[in-house]
Structure 1
Amino acid sequence: MRISTAHAHDQAIETLMKRQVELTDLQDQLTTGKRVAKASDDPAAAARAERALAGVLRADTSQRAVEASRTVMSQTESAMSDAEDLLQEAREGLVAAGNASYSDQERAGLAAKLRAIREQLLSVANRTDGAGTYLFGGQSASAVPFADQPGGVAYQGLTGEVRTEGGTDLPLSADGSSVFMSARTGNGVYVTSAAAGVTGAWIDNGQVSDPGALTGANYTIQFSVSGAGTTYAVLQNGNPTAITAAPYTSGQDIAVDGMTFKISGVPANGDQFTIAPSTPTLSVFDTLDRAINQLSTPGRSAAQIAQGNTDALRDIDQSMGQMQRARAVAGEVLARIEHETSRLDTQKLANQTERSRAEDLDMTQAISEFQNRQTGYDAALKSYSMVQRLSLFQYLNS
Structure 2
Amino acid sequence: MRISTFEYFTSGVSTMNNQQASLSNLYAEISSGKSLQTAADNPLGAAQAVALTAQAANLAQYSTNQSSALTSLQQEDSTLTSVTNVMQSIQSLVVNAGNGTLNDTDRSALATQLQGYRSTLMTLANTTDANGNYIFAGFQGGSKPFNDNASGVGATYAGGPGQRQVQISDTRTINVADPGSAIFQSVSSNESSPVSSGSAANTGSGTIGPVSVTNSNDPANSSTYTITFGTTTTGTPPTTSTVSSYSVTALDPATGTTTTVTPPTPYTAGDNITLGSQTVAISGTPASGDTFTVAPANTGNVSDTDIFTTLDSLVNALKQPADSTSSLATLQNALTTAGTKISNTYNNVLTTQTAVGGREQEVTATQTAMQTTSTQTASNLSDLVSVNLPAAISQYEMTQTSLQAAQQAFAQIQKMSLFNYLSS
Secondary structure, aligned partner of 1:269:
coil
Aligned match of 1:208: 213
- TM-score of the aligned structures, taking structure 1 as reference length: 0.92
Q: Deviations over 1:294-336 (max 9, x none)?
A: 1111236221221111111111111111111111111111101
Q: Deviations over 1:180-218 (max 9, x none)?
A: 111159983533221232241111121112346541333
Aligned match of 1:197: 201
Native 8 Å contact 1:162 1:172 kept in 2: yes
- 1:164 lines up with 2:166 in the alignment: yes
Aligned match of 1:240: 260
Q: Deviations over 1:208-232 (max 9, x none)?
A: 1234654133322222246443222
Aligned match of 1:257: 276
Return the letter of the residue paired with 1:327: Q
Counterparts of residues 286-325 of structure 1 (less than 5 Å) = 286-299=309-322, 301-325=327-351
Change (3 A) 1:116 1:222: same
Q: Calculate percent identity across the aligned residue pairs.
A: 27
Return the letter of the residue paired with 2:416: L
Q: Deviations over 1:351-370 (max 9, x none)?
A: 22332233222345434433
Change (3 A) 1:270 1:149: closer
Aligned residues: 397
Residue 383 of structure 1, aligned match among 393, 399, 409: 409
Q: Mind listing any 5+ residue stretches in structure 1 that lack a counterpart?
A: none
- 1:284 lines up with 2:304 in the alignment: no
> 1:105 Cα shift?
1.2
> 1:96 Cα shift?
1.3
- 1:59 lines up with 2:59 in the alignment: yes
Distance of 1:244 and 1:18 partners within structure 2: 109
Secondary structure, aligned partner of 1:96:
helix
> 1:106 Cα shift?
1.1
Change (3 A) 1:136 1:357: same
> 1:5 Cα shift?
3.3
Return the letter of the residue paired with 2:18: K
Return the letter of the residue paired with 2:156: A
Distance of 2:13 and 2:388 partners within structure 1: 31
Counterparts of residues 109-148 of structure 1 (less than 5 Å) = 109-148=109-148
Return the letter of the residue paired with 2:111: A
Change (3 A) 1:25 1:396: same
Aligned match of 2:97: 97
Q: Deviations over 1:9-46 (max 9, x none)?
A: 34322321221111221122123221112212111111
Change (3 A) 1:187 1:34: closer
Native 8 Å contact 2:193 2:297 kept in 1: yes
- 1:269 lines up with 2:288 in the alignment: yes
Native 8 Å contact 2:224 2:296 kept in 1: yes
Q: Mind listing any 5+ residue stretches in structure 2 that lack a counterpart?
A: 233-240, 252-257
Native 8 Å contact 1:186 1:278 kept in 2: no
Q: Aligned-residue CA RMSD in angstroms? A: 2.4
Secondary structure, aligned partner of 2:339:
helix
Return the letter of the residue paired with 2:244: T
- TM-score of the aligned structures, taking structure 2 as reference length: 0.86
Counterparts of residues 325-364 of structure 1 (less than 5 Å) = 325-364=351-390
Distance of 1:304 and 1:129 partners within structure 2: 42
Q: Deviations over 1:244-303 (max 9, x none)?
A: 342322222222321111111111112121223331641111111111111111236221
Aligned match of 1:35: 35
> 1:381 Cα shift?
2.2
Distance of 1:68 and 1:190 partners within structure 2: 39
Distance of 1:218 and 1:380 partners within structure 2: 103
Native 8 Å contact 1:187 1:205 kept in 2: no
